[in-house]
């Protein structure tokens, strides 16, 4: 700790939900939450230094401590973490949404020139700076929602030039906004229609042409793949992921969205997370629960596509670790709004308040292999989201209509 750094004391909070001392895996009851009343948080630079009763911390503070007094009846939690987004994109897919509501399937829309390929065509037309600017606006909207760490995927470029353009735009946006962006290469989203070859040839192309540039320019250390009938098969995906793992890359997988198989590949390859899981059966649930792979539910995709939610209750009761992310993308999950999605999911899947907040804080952090955030504890990042309410139960009860009153990122109060 830097002893010369000016300390900052914030509070008093009617309730401080630390999210500390909770299990990484399995169900969580609300009674397990540590809720400190009349609490304060002492911050040193970008790090939490001490937590406790606000008046006690105020009385014992040293002369270098500034005090930021929050209005009465405020609840504080760790900054929210959105562990799966596609917010680097160009264009709109409003036509797709209308077609789906008119009875067309996801696969039918894609076959007709819509779907992911439509966004690829739009995104390729954007300059890097334009992608950065569009992303920056979305990031600021997420910060207003108390989301302080955001995973962002490529995957709408699907060739070396445009995948690298997207990853550089993500890097630029990370430098221009207070949020922490975690970049993931999803060049293996679909086989591009203008690629001369099959899925094995395209995956080899990524390894041969795109991976070396990413490593040289340090653009990301995470890779994703869409394992699905209209994307990549389990056999080719396994070989691809193992090759990436041999290069020291961290892995995540789009799996079990329309058909099963992806979750098995994710677990066998030691992926940090497997995301979607809307069609996972008892077999896949048991496999995930016995692994260290985080199950990430994406309720925005279920809402956007009008399909079943991830079987979260079954996953948790089986002993799995569950994160919840927005999947914000222009096609299947255009709403964003992580907290609203999580609240709706909790109603359908009967998730406790503790399980929901765990899914968008420390469990989401572990899905990104981040151990320095997601919990309000001395030594961790001072990322804090606050709501003007005396009772933390109001936050999910109001299903996203309660707005964040204050948001701190890296010890800096953003608003």
What ranges in 156-230 are assigned the alpha helix state H?
160-176, 199-205, 211-217
E strands in 114-201: 147-153, 180-188
412, pLDDT greater than 60: yes
Percent of the chain with pLDDT over 70: 99
Q: What is the mean pLDDT of the chain?
A: 96
How many Cα neighbours within 13 Å face the side chain of 13? 28
Helices (H) then strands (E): counts for the chain? 17, 18
Q: What is the per-residue DSSP string for 63-83?
A: TTEEEEEPPSS-EEEEPEEE-
Q: pLDDT at position 2, please?
A: 41
Task: Compute the C-alpha angle 74/397/276, nearest 5°.
Answer: 110
- pLDDT over threshold 90, residue 4: no
**pLDDT digits 0-9 by tens, 230-289:** 899 999 999 999 999 999 999 999 999 999 999 999 999 999 999 999 999 999 999 999
Whole-angstrom distance, CA of residue 288 vs CA of residue 263: 7
- The answer to whether the peptide bond before residue 12 is cis (omega within 30 degrees of 0) is yes
Over residues 125-176, the pLDDT tens digits come to 999 999 999 999 999 999 999 999 999 999 999 999 999 999 999 999 999 9
pLDDT digits (tens, 9 = 90+) for 183-209: 999 999 999 999 999 999 999 999 999
How far is C-alpha 400 from the chain's CA centre? Answer: 17
Q: How far apart are alpha carbons 48 and 379 in whole angstroms?
A: 6
Computed on alpha carbons and rounded to an integer, the radius of gyration of the chain in Å comes to 21
Residue partners of 273: CB distance under 8 A and separation at least 6: 83, 84, 252, 253, 266, 293, 294, 295, 296, 323, 367
Q: Residue 71: its pLDDT value, please?
A: 81
Give the model confidence (pLDDT) of 278-331 as tens digits: 999 999 999 999 999 999 999 999 999 999 999 999 999 999 999 999 999 999
- Residue 113 pLDDT class (50, 70, 90 cuts): confident
What's the average model confidence in pLDDT over 388-395? 97
Position 3 scores a pLDDT of 45
- CA angle 176–67–373, rounded 5-degree value: 45
Which residue intervals of 259-379 are DSSP H helices?
262-268, 282-289, 299-305, 312-318, 338-349, 353-359, 362-367
How far apart are the C-alpha atoms of 25 and 292, rounded to whole Å? 9
Mean pLDDT of 9-33: 98
Note if the pTM is more than 0.85.
yes
The pLDDT assigned to 108 comes to 86
Q: Do the beta carbons of residue 257 and residue 228 sit within 8 Å?
A: yes
Percentage of residues in the chain having pLDDT higher than 90 = 92
Find tokens 């010369």 and name the residue.
4
pLDDT value of position 1: 37
Residues 6+ apart with CB under 8 A from 387: 74, 75, 77, 394, 395, 402, 403, 404, 405
Q: What is the layout of strands, in order, in the sheet containing 412-413?
A: 35-36, 15-17, 75-78, 384-387, 404-409, 412-413
* pLDDT tier, 110 (very low <50, low <70, confident <90, very high otherwise): confident
Alpha helix locations (H) across 182-233?
199-205, 211-217
Rounded to an integer, the average pLDDT of 336-357 is 98
The predicted model gives 395-412 an average pLDDT of 97
Is the pLDDT assigned to residue 105 strictly greater than 90? no
First to last CA, the chain: 26
The pLDDT value given to residue 251: 98
């Amino acid at each position: 700790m830097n002893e010369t750094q000016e300390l900052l004391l914030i509070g008093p909070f009617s309730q401080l939900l630390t999210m500390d001392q909770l299990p990484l895996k399995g169900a969580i009851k609300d009674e397990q939450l540590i809720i400190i009343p009349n609490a304060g948080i002492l911050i040193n630079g970008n790090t939490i230094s001490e937590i406790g009763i606000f008046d006690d911390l105020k009385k014992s503070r040293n002369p270098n401590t500034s005090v930021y007094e929050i209005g009465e009846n405020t609840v504080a939690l760790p900054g929210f973490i959105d562990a799966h987004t596609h917010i680097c994109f160009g264009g709109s897919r409003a036509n797709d949404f209308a077609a789906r509501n008119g009875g067309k399937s996801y696969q039918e829309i894609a076959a007709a020139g819509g779907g992911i390929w439509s966004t690829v065509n739009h995104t390729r037309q954007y300059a890097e700076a334009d992608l950065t600017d569009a992303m920056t606006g979305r990031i600021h909207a997420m910060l207003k929602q108390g989301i302080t760490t955001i995973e962002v995927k490529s995957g709408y470029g699907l060739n070396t030039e445009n995948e690298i353009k997207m990853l550089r735009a993500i890097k630029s946006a990370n430098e221009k906004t207070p949020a922490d962006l975690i970049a993931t290469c999803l060049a293996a989203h679909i086989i591009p229609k203008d690629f001369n070859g099959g899925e094995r040839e395209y995956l080899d192309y990524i390894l041969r042409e795109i991976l070396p540039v990413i490593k040289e320019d340090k653009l990301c250390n995470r890779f994703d793949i869409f394992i699905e009938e209209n994307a990549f098969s389990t056999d080719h995906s396994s070989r691809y992921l193992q090759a990436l793992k041999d290069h020291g890359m961290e892995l995540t997988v789009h799996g079990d969205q329309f058909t099963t198989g992806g979750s098995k590949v994710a677990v066998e390859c030691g992926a940090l997370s497997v995301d979607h899981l809307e069609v996972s059966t008892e077999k896949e649930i048991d496999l995930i629960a016995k692994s260290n792979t985080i199950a990430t539910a994406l309720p925005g995709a279920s809402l956007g596509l009008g399909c079943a939610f991830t079987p979260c209750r079954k996953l948790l009761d089986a002993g799995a670790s569950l994160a919840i992310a927005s999947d914000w993308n222009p096609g299947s999950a255009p709403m964003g709004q992580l907290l609203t999605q999580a609240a709706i999911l909790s109603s359908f899947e009967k998730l406790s308040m503790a399980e929901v907040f765990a899914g968008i804080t420390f469990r989401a952090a572990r899905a990104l292999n981040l151990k320095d955030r997601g919990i309000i504890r001395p030594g961790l990042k001072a990322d804090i989201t606050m709501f003007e309410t005396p009772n933390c139960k109001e936050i999910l009860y109001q299903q996203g209509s309660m707005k964040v009153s204050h948001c701190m990122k890296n010890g800096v109060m953003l608003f």
